[in-house]
């Protein structure tokens, strides 16, 4: 189920024209700016009935904007923060609009229910704070039919 969820999330992020690069793993070096990575975080499972459980799959969506690229007449640091605020809002809007992950094809025994997006940590990444970074945690709720999983 991890792969199905991550591929759908990456598909939605790639449709966001504000992002230049989207990766489904932690990449060593970005080729575009702004960039994004999607990686698994953790999962939880709750007993629902004797036939069914509910799982929560959590993913980190990390956004990065280069703080060293200068634009004429702009303070590079305030510009990176302004762009990041706009980018985080845009990404959260994408997932709020499509919280059912339209078109997702879950494996037999799994039923995707919905997705929650919550902003998490803002900070800096890279050598000498080269990137302004933000992390959004996505939590996907999935029903698991215990009789139909292998």
Domains in the chain and their CATH numbers? 2-145 (3.30.2000.30)
Residue 72 clears pLDDT 70, i.e. is over it: no
**Tell me: the pLDDT tens digits for 73-112?**
667 678 889 999 999 999 999 999 999 999 999 999 999 9
- Look at residue 70 in the predicted model and tell me its pLDDT: 64
Residues listed for the chain: 150
- Look at residue 49 in the predicted model and tell me its pLDDT: 58
Gap between the Cα atoms of 125 and 65, Å rounded: 9
- Look at residue 145 in the predicted model and tell me its pLDDT: 86
Gap between the Cα atoms of 80 and 67, Å rounded: 6
Which of the four pLDDT bands, split at 50, 70 and 90, describes residue 148?
confident
Nearest residue to 10 (alpha-carbon basis) of 38, 40, 50: 38
Contacts of 28 (CB under 8 A, 6+ apart): none
- Look at residue 97 in the predicted model and tell me its pLDDT: 94
Residue with tokens 């700016």: 33
Residue 71 clears pLDDT 70, i.e. is over it: no
**Tell me: the pLDDT tens digits for 31-68?**
999 999 999 987 666 656 556 788 899 999 999 999 88
User: When comparing pLDDT for 95 and 148, which is higher?
Assistant: 95
Q: Considering all CA atoms of the chain, what is the largest pairwise distance in Å, rounded to the nearest integer?
A: 64
Q: Are 64 and 87 in contact (CB under 8 A)?
A: no
């Amino acid at each position: 189920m991890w792969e199905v969820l991550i591929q759908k999330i990456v598909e939605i992020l790639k449709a966001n024209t504000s992002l230049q690069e989207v990766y489904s793993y932690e990449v060593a070096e970005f080729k575009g700016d702004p960039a994004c990575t999607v990686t698994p975080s953790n999962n939880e499972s709750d007993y629902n009935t004797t036939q069914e459980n509910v799982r929560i799959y959590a993913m980190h969506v990390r956004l990065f904007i280069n703080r060293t690229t200068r634009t004429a007449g702009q303070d590079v640091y305030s510009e990176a923060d302004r762009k990041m605020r706009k980018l985080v809002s845009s990404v959260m809007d994408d997932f709020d609009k499509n919280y059912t992950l339209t078109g997702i094809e879950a494996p037999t025994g799994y039923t995707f229910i919905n997705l929650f997006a919550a902003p998490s940590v803002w900070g800096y990444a890279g050598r000498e704070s080269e990137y302004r970074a933000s992390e959004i945690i996505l939590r996907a709720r999935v029903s698991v039919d215990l009789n139909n999983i292998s």
